[in-house]
Amino acid sequence: MKSSKGHFVGELVYDNINGRPQRLGFGSYTEFKVAICLIYRDDFADLEEQLAPLPFTHPTGRASSHFFDFRYTTKGGQRICISVKPERIAKTFVYQQVIDSVRAAAVGNICDVVATVTERNINPVELHNAELYHAARKPDPVFDAVILEALNDLDGPVSINQFLSDIGVYGGGFFSVVRAIRAGHARLFVPEEIRGKTLIERARVA
């Protein structure tokens, strides 16, 4: 990632739904936060950037084109074209007029839904956990096996720190617990940022 005054650009490498590394570029810190939150949503299937410009008719009547920042595809196949904008721009009447015209050209053509995402739409808890899932994405077979076995014996909510202490693993197994939460083997007792003090419980069998 590169940052300078007023600019934050870079590339994010994540594991796609096939377990293979995939690169995704972003042109601002807000775009990075939006992208990582989308990638770690439960319904994530794909995220594309650098889409071809979309021709549309500007509200003034002239021919124009729009560049979406991302196209998000859900596991159910819904395609969502996303423009990431500062809140101060997104709430203006001019922008809303333009994006309405863009939507008319995009829906049914390159996507099913058009969405504008601003910094106000980013949930800080979701962002924290997405960044943690990303940091912990690489498996550790030894620790992971120990954590999964210990989770099977868990009979009530316990903090992550206490859980690790009880099985003699301590901080070394924190990322393994994060992976277990991500994979659905454990769950948060209440929705919150995943930290050492966070209460977890064994996931219920459907």
Q: Give 30-98 as a DSSP string.
A: HHHHHHHHHHTSTTEEEEEESPPPEEEE-TTS-EEEE--SEEEEETT--EEEEEE--HHHHTSHHHHHH
Structural domains of the chain sorted by starting position, each given as residue range(s) with its CATH number in brackets: 2-125 (3.40.1350.10), 138-202 (1.10.10)
Length of the chain: 206
Q: Cα(147)–Cα(141) distance, rounded to whole angstroms? A: 10
Distance separating alpha carbons of residues 160 and 106, to the nearest angstrom? 45
* pLDDT digits 0-9 by tens, 49-62: 989 999 999 999 99
DSSP assigned state of 167:
T
Question: Do residues 105 and 114 lie in contact, with contact meaning Cβ atoms separated by under 8 Å?
Answer: no
Close Cβ partners of 153 (under 8 Å, ≥ 6 residues apart): none
Instruction: Give percent of the chain with pLDDT exceeding 70.
Output: 95
Task: Read off the pLDDT of residues 104-151 as tens digits, 9 standing for 90 and up.
Answer: 999 999 999 999 999 999 999 999 999 999 999 999 999 999 999 999
